[in-house]
Chain A
Amino acid sequence: MSELPKWAEIVLVPLISLLLAALLSALIILAIGENPVEALQIMITGALGSTYGWGYTLYYATNFMFTGLAVAVAFHARLFNIGGEGQATLGGLGVALVCIHIPWPHWSLALLAAVGGAAFFGAAWAAIPAYLQAKRGSHIVITTIMFNFIAAAVLNYLLIGALKPKGSMEPATAKFPEPTHLPSFQDMFSTTETILFRGAPANVSFFVAVLACVAVWILIWHTRLGYEIRAFGQSETAAKYAGISPTKIIMITMMISGGLAGMMAVNNVMGEAERLILGSVEGAGFIGIAVALMGRSHPFGVFVAAILFGFLYQGGAELALWTGIPRELIVVIQALVILFTGALDNMVRMPLAKLFAALKRSPRAEA
């Protein structure tokens, strides 16, 4: 198979995949008797047409940046961490413990501690499958799937037991105390005359997510650890030859990955819900897979893809509000993006490769 130029690999393949996914979605919308053009307009207006819309789009995007980075970091070591959902669930537990049990004087300190708590719990939850992969050869995809279910059971157990405030009937923690409430975009960007992002959940953790993107970029391409992660991901035998310990790389990479997934909780648990409820991750762990694939495991790609999916989620909610299209359509789009970028990528790549080969040949033939 002839190779594609790098830029085409990075930009063209995901773009075409996205277009294919969009096209198929449009057909589905047509099939259920709605108008795809109108649907797109509603999505754009709803998600990007106001600061309110943006406030939701960026809120979702923040979740997806964390989980997308989690999957991307693991991909660099050729590990498929499908357990972002469970790690983010446990991250929520970390955030809740930090926020409820320590009296914080100011949100900024609480934020730092919550980031630490979330990352710690997420990393710990990823560490067990990582250990089993490194030491016992247990397939990490299967174990992380299993750990998603186990995480749900653990949280369920805690939320109807130890973490539930007395007298409450709801499986949820108490509301976090006031000083741990993070400033929302509305608090940060509104002036006395104009209120921006009114009521939208986007909050200061968005910037934490952007920082995480930058940190991951530095980690992967500008540190010794990142070099070792990439080398291990390319070839385990070569890594051993170079003195890179597979066990160490699997453990560290998965813990970074789990930590990033866990950090999502700072956004949804601390920033938005301000308490821990059941199922708060809402599938964001899985969306991370689509985001990482779409973003070609590059932090900048993840950033862009996360915003795109944020747009889809907010737009999808608007669709459900104004048309007969349920928001599950977004799940379909997400599935198609995963399918085309992750599994059917050769189907996209092959014709492109032929095209480029033909383009390369023709000028020479004329000369």
Chain B
Amino acid sequence: MTNSAPAIELAGISKAFGTVQANKDISIRVMPGTIHGIIGENGAGKSTLMSILYGFYKADAGDIFIAGKKTLIPDSQSAIKAGIGMVFQHFKLVENFSVLENVVLGAEEGFSLGKSLAKARRELKALADEYGLTIEPDALIEDIGVGMQQRVEILKALYRRAEILILDEPTGVLTPAEADQLFRILDRLKAEGKTIILITHKLREIMDVTDTVSVMRRGEMTATVKTADTSPGELAELMVGRKVLLRVEKKSASVGNKILEIQDLHVKDEDGVHRLKGINLDIRAGEIVGIAGVAGNGQSELLEVLGGYKKATGNIRYKSQQIDLTGAVANAQSRRTLGIAHVPEDRQSEGLIMNFMAWENTAFGYHLDDAYQNGMLISNSAIRTDTQAKMGRFDVRPPDPRLDASSFSGGNQQKIVLAREIERNPDLLLIGQPTRGVDIGAIEFIHQQIVALRDEGKAILLVSVELEEILALSDRIAVMFDGQIIGERIAGETDENELGLMMAGINEDDA
């Protein structure tokens, strides 16, 4: 590495939101022409840090140096001027604009639009030649795929002459193949002398593409190391603060009858896009079936169909009994009556109502239960009593039924949902992303609850984008790709590499 000034240096950056210290005295140096990774769990403060760098937030303390020069970045305009480009996790594109219009937006020259568009068209072609970023300039954003949309975001930054490119969780929405393509582009950009900061919580990406890596935990920078000098294990430990227990203690499964039989399940969304393309899957009593896959390959739709709030075609039998997929009974209420419980993927927008109190949330979905009624009226006191008991058994802290859901931590929110769903003693539990945004202590508790339910002989369908979680909990693993189940494996007979390939749509057994 040369001894020139760092392309970017952060010195002592701190930022608090109210009482939450999102960033605490953070310092990083990134040399030009390198890829620097920033890794950390959800909520570790990575995105806040990058938002400060891009002028979205003002740091409470600390300085930013660009190419050795102290630079103030009070807004995005200054960040762009300083040569910083950012690709956000959620793309900032205008859906009904063309690629060209999106690239030009905010970087137009002069009042009249025509000239700017013509110039951008030429530049896009030049950039395409230079970096292999080919794209149709007149396509509308809403008509192109996520991979292409991300490419537009990168082109936007390059069009603004960005020397430093920040990518926030860029692979979250990509298939492994698309992700590989992205990494090749990043390599090319690096070769051309651009500096890249890659924010992710995926260890493999860090190991694959970065030169140096910083680890963040709870708003603090715990270490900065050369990628070549570290290992995934070490990084994981730095991320969570102690050795991660990835293996969950569990007995071998004693499998019973088929609880759920799914045959040729199809779903089309409102836009007519085929989301599920013929799913076939059985789940038996006493087993955990894990669904692995990159987010957006149909897992959410599968859960929604089984949960009763998405219409589908095909054939589902639950305890040998046909389930209505389109009619009036195809709703979440009737599924609960059948004994199908559902912990949804997104507890904050589905599983809980954040402005409802814990006791109101405990009745959520079960508000028609006989135990909660008092003649014509709903018995608020019965629900409160029940909630108090559930909170005790699931160790929800603080155990106060009158607190709003929003005032609990992620882990405790999830426990409220779990308590509600598990304590119904369901025969089938659907559970999506059980530990997303949950602290380590609660993860163990939640995993134990899931395994305990399986040991009681219940059937469990687990959906998670965390491959490690799938491997640790499941007895059997099905991999979803592009709306289909591309293959099934016994948990003990497979590994991350094989599953990773399958998640990319490659099933070697079938090939």
Contact = CB atoms under 8 A, between A and B. Distances in A.
Contacts of A242: 332-333, 364-365, 367
A20 to B, nearest CB: 26
B447 interface: no
Contacts of A243: 308-309, 331-336, 365
A241 B376 contact: no
Contacts of A228: 367
Given A231-B353, A234-B355, A235-B349, A241 B367 contact: no
Contact of A238 (B18, B350, B368): B350
Contacts of B346: 237
Interface in A5-57: none
Contact of B18 (A2, A221, A224): A2
Interface in B344-370: 344, 346, 349-356, 360, 363-365, 367-368
Given A227-B378, A234-B356, A241 B331 contact: no
Contact of B376 (A223, A234, A235): A223
A238 B342 CA distance: 12
Contacts of B342: 241
Given A224-B367, A227-B378, A238 B332 contact: no
B377 interface: yes
A170 to B, nearest CB: 46
A222 interface: yes
Interface in A214-262: 218, 221-224, 226-228, 230-231, 234-235, 237-238, 240-243, 245
Contacts of B354: 234-235
Interface in B312-342: 331-336, 342
Given A227-B363, A241-B344, A245-B331, A218 B377 contact: yes
B351 A223 contact: no
B323 to A, nearest CB: 14
Nearest to B333: A243
B352 A238 contact: yes
Contact of A222 (B332, B344, B378): B378
Contact of B378 (A224, A234, A240): A224
Interface in B252-310: 307-309
A222 B376 CA distance: 9
Contact of A241 (B365, B368, B380): B365
Given A222-B377, A222-B378, A243-B309, A235 B353 contact: yes
B349 A237 contact: yes
A241 B307 contact: yes
B331 A238 contact: no
A238 B309 contact: no
B95 to A, nearest CB: 17
A221 B377 CA distance: 9
Given A2-B18, A243-B332, A243-B333, A238 B351 contact: yes
Nearest to A236: B349
Nearest to A222: B377
Contacts of A223: 376-378
A297 to B, nearest CB: 13
Nearest to A228: B367
Nearest to B356: A234
A242 B364 CA distance: 6
Contacts of A231: 353, 356, 364
Given A222-B378, A222-B380, A227-B363, A240 B332 contact: yes
Nearest to B367: A227
Contacts of B380: 221-222
B363 A241 contact: no
Nearest to B303: A241
Contacts of A224: 367-368, 373, 378
A237 B350 contact: yes
A227 B351 CA distance: 15
A223 B336 CA distance: 20
B304 to A, nearest CB: 8
A240 B309 CA distance: 6
B370 to A, nearest CB: 12
B356 A241 contact: no
A146 to B, nearest CB: 26
A361 to B, nearest CB: 11
A223 B360 CA distance: 12
A228 B380 CA distance: 14
A234 B18 contact: no
Given A218-B377, A222-B377, A241 B332 contact: yes
A239 B18 CA distance: 31
Contacts of A240: 309, 332, 350
A304 B468 CA distance: 58
Nearest to B342: A241
Given A231-B353, A243-B332, A243-B334, A238 B364 contact: yes
Contacts of A218: 377
B340 to A, nearest CB: 11
A53 to B, nearest CB: 39
Contacts of A227: 360, 363, 367, 378
A238 B353 contact: yes
A238 B333 contact: no
A234 B309 contact: no
B351 A241 contact: yes
A224 B369 CA distance: 10
Nearest to B346: A237
Given A222-B380, A242-B332, 17 more contacts: A221-B380, A224-B373, A224-B378, A227-B363, A230-B356, A238-B349, A238-B350, A238-B351, A238-B364, A240-B309, A240-B350, A241-B344, A241-B365, A242-B333, A242-B364, A243-B331, A243-B365
10 contacts: A227-B360, A231-B356, A231-B364, A234-B355, A234-B356, A238-B364, A241-B351, A242-B365, A243-B309, A243-B336
Interface of A: 2, 218, 221-224, 226-228, 230-231, 234-235, 237-238, 240-243, 245
> A-B pairs with the 9 shortest C-beta distances?
A243-B332, A243-B333, A242-B365, A241-B350, A234-B353, A240-B309, A222-B377, A227-B367, A243-B331
